[in-house]
Amino acid sequence: MKISTLSNFILASISLVYSQDTSLKEVKQAFIAADIPTDLTITFNPSVLLEVTFPQVTGPAITLKAGVQLPRNATAGPPTFSIVGKAGTGPFVVAAVDPDAPTPQAPTSAQIRHFLGGDFTAARRDSDKVHLLTNESVAVSEFRQPGPPAGSDAHRYIFLLFNQPAGFDSQVPTVVNSTTPVSLFNISSFAATTDLGNPIGGTFMLVAPDAA
């Protein structure tokens, strides 16, 4: 390979690499700048970084940086989750919601529940390391790929990590089960009902409709 070809190749590869969250302060600021605490009625003071990683058909998986816009076809998922920081071994609950459905200007069907799962655990508790979360129980709500309707602005897809309280698994089916619509969900009232407390981590992405 000629040097010029090689450097073009490296540049093209770099442009496809997405950076990820490295600072709790920046994640919190990104949430505030995007009006997320207000729109979700949550208190967001993260103590750990939540890494949300989307596998790709070709090329490396994409880990979100709070506020990144992804092409819809990169978000098929299901994503995997990791924690960076001192959070203990769990269990944890992960939830994902879209507060912008059908449009950010008139979110009459929001929030849409895009994921809800419990019993995520981390194998080790060292701080400052990346801990992949693993789970052996089926998600309460399986991951739904973003599908903002044609003509809408990009939607926010927000992932939140909670400590899982004792009794969550037995209580959750009375609140969310296979008959519960994904629309008109409210993560703040769900958290209050199931004693999740405030989220300990989170991140989000923007996804626009497919071009017509």
Ligand X SMILES: *[C@@H]1O[C@H](CO)[C@@H](O)[C@H](O)[C@H]1NC(C)=O
User: By the criterion CB under 6 A, which residues form the site for ligand X?
Assistant: 41, 56-57, 71, 73-74, 78-80, 117, 135-139, 142-143, 173-174, 177, 179-180, 186, 188-189, 192
Compare residues 126 and 136 and give the one whose CB is closer to ligand X: 136
Other residues' Cβ atoms within 10 Å of the Cβ of residue 197: 12
Compare residues 26 and 103 and give the one whose CB is closer to ligand X: 103
Closest CB 54 distance from ligand X, rounded Å: 9
Closest CB 118 distance from ligand X, rounded Å: 9
Other residues' Cβ atoms within 10 Å of the Cβ of residue 101: 24
CA distance 195 to 192: 5
CB-based contacts of 88: which residues, under 8 Å, 6+ apart? 122, 125
Closest CB 180 distance from ligand X, rounded Å: 3
Compare residues 85 and 117 and give the one whose CB is closer to ligand X: 117
Report the residue number whose CB is nearest to ligand X. Answer: 180
Residue corresponding to tokens 């009459």 = 108
**Triad 25, 29, 35: Cα angle to 5°:** 150
Compare residues 24 and 139 and give the one whose CB is closer to ligand X: 139
**Triad 128, 133, 138: Cα angle to 5°:** 165
Closest CB 3 distance from ligand X, rounded Å: 27
C-alpha 157 chain-centroid distance:
7
Helix ranges restricted to H, the chain = 3-16, 24-33, 36-40, 168-175, 187-193
Compare residues 25 and 178 and give the one whose CB is closer to ligand X: 178
Closest CB 79 distance from ligand X, rounded Å: 6
